[in-house]
Each structure stands twice: as structure tokens, then as C-alpha cells.
Amino acid sequence: MRPGIAFLTLFIMLPTSEAATVFRCTNEAGKITFSQYGCTPNQHQNIQEAFNPSPGTGTPVPMAKVKPASGPATRPKGGHGKSNEVVVVGEHQNECGNRVVGGERRKAIIEGRIKAGMTRSDVESALGRPDTISQQNGSTHFHYKADKQRGRGARTVSFDEDGCVIGKKKR
């Protein structure tokens, strides 16, 4: 019998162990570390048994117990009783005052539609980079040429001084 096959046969027949020996090392300051290879000479060494079951063997062990939330998550109505109303403490404001947000904003961008109150980045997400940009009396205008592949005519999108859409014009 070849030596490699004999070794492989012995290796397969060895029982597997889910426990491992770990060394618990304590230094002079009392700091504890764990090592698989032993402690340094200036540390106190104890053997620590560690049990790590394979997944799917036995019952699951909970990682932590969930504690009930502390503090009020809702605001009482008029000081009497409790309400399940969610209170928003703060919300991110875009430069246009969140006039077009959430699903309405996403849908408009996906469909390539422009709505008053959208930001410059919203317009670029919907229509791409403008072909030309012009400025007049504090407002900025994005000019788009006709795009037959997308089935879109030429258009101009106007922004106020804060970068918010104030209007659009198809040409």
C-alpha cells in the first residue's frame, strides 16, 4: 500500500472534535488575551476549553437577548395617553427644499420627466449631461438637442439661483 493512501485512510478515520484548546494568557497588568499557540514567558498561562459546534448540530444558541426599547418612541397626543404616531426629528433637506422626493422623484427620473423643484443632479440623472449650458439674469439653462433614439425632442430646462428646476420648454 502506498504511504499517501495509508495516511489518507488514517486521516479519514480520525474522529472530528468540535472543541479546541485555547491558552488564556494574563500579563502583569491583568490584561487577558487568548492564543492558540501558547503564552509568552512573562504571562501567566491557563488552558481554556472552547466549544464551537458545527452549524446545524443541535439546537441554536442565541447570541443575545433582545431588550425592549428604552425611552418613548412615540409622542403622546396633547399630553394625554400614548400615540403610535411616528415623530420625525430631522430630515435631510436638498437645495430645493425637498419639493420632489421619494417615489415621485425616482419615477420621474426613470421616465425621463422633469418636474419643478428637481435639482440639477436629478435632471442630469433623467436626461444626461446637457449639450450646452447658458446663464441669464441669475438663472441657469440646460439645453438638450433632439434625440431620435430616445424619442425625445429638443428641450431647455431652467434653474433658479439655488439650482432648482423652475421650468422646462420643448422646442
Cα–Cα–Cα angle for 159, 161, 164, nearest 5°?
40
Ramachandran sector of residue 8 (left: φ over 0; alpha: ψ -120 to 50; beta: rest): alpha
CA distance 42 to 21: 20
What pTM does this model have?
0.43
- CATH class of the domain whose range is 115-170: alpha beta
2-54: per-residue pLDDT in tens? 665 655 555 555 445 455 678 888 999 888 888 888 888 889 888 887 666 66
Give residue limits of the domains in the chain.
17-53, 115-170
78-102: per-residue pLDDT in tens? 555 555 666 655 556 667 777 777 7
How many Cβ atoms from other residues are within 10 Å of residue 114's Cβ?
A: 19
What cell does 131 get?
A: 449639450
On the CB side of 59, CA atoms within 13 Å amount to: 2
How many Cβ atoms from other residues are within 10 Å of residue 139's Cβ?
A: 14
pLDDT at 134: 92
116-133: per-residue pLDDT in tens? 888 888 889 888 899 999
pLDDT at 104: 85
